[in-house]
Amino acid sequence: MQRESDCIFGLRPVIEAIRAGKQVDRLLIRQGLQGALYHELMTEVRKHGIVYQIVPVERIEIVTRKNHQGVLAWLSIVEYQSIANLLPMIFEKGEDPLLIALDGVSDVRNFGAIVRSAECLGAHAVIIPEKGSARITADAVKTSAGALNILPVCREKSMLKTAEYLRESGLKIVCADEGSGTPAQECDLKGPVVLVMGSEEKGISRELLNLADIKIRIPMSGKIESLNVSVASGILLYEIARQRRS
């Protein structure tokens, strides 16, 4: 839930936060906003590549009715990193990268639980898209048991281009696919790997599935045919860790 206590509002406070180097997780701007301060804000937004949405004023006033001046921003709790900067550092340490990419996982508690499992099972980073991902809130940090303060989070503009970059860098693209995947224990999951997990509603995008080197599934024997995405992520991360140890 979005709360007034989680955000900052007003043109000048948001401009100064950006100039101070604060990472903006989300930015809402009222439709039709104009004026010198607005143009000053947009200059900073474009300069720093900040993702924003143009919304009706009612969308902002769901969160606050104070003097927001048509601008509402949430600052990032964690400092996002770039996978292009992080990946060479992992290789330089002589380690096989293990990454988990979340394509459209928007539930905050699922996200936190996945990060917790990833950190416990030796992943080097979590990759999320700029749009369509869970926001990193205090609830996410709590659910992760603090893992979000340890494990790097890379927020990338295009999941497809990021996957292509990782594949060119020597990583296997392993996509979880309940429909046509091979049972996890039959897949070769050793070496550099990025595990891609999709949302429970839509799954992984078709473009990412088409890029997969391996499509993987968890064999099921119960009457319920699917698992929560955080549980499935934990199981698949464990299988990767098991194969690396064997």
Task: Note whether 233 and 103 are within 8 A (CB).
Answer: no
Tens-place pLDDT, residues 129-187 = 988 888 888 788 889 999 999 999 999 999 999 999 999 999 999 999 988 889 999 99
The single residue listed with the structure tokens 């319920």 is: 224
Region 83-245: CATH code:
3.40.1280.10
Q: What is the pLDDT of residue 239?
A: 97
Q: What is the pLDDT of residue 216?
A: 96
Tens-place pLDDT, residues 199-212 = 878 889 999 999 99
Mean predicted lDDT score pLDDT of the chain = 92
Query: Where exactly are the structural domains of the chain?
Result: 4-75, 83-245
Tokens of 102: 């979340």
Q: What is the mean pLDDT of residues 100-111?
A: 93
Q: Which fold has domain 4-75?
A: 60s Ribosomal Protein L30; Chain: A; (3.30.1330)
Tokens of 96: 């096989």
pTM: 0.83
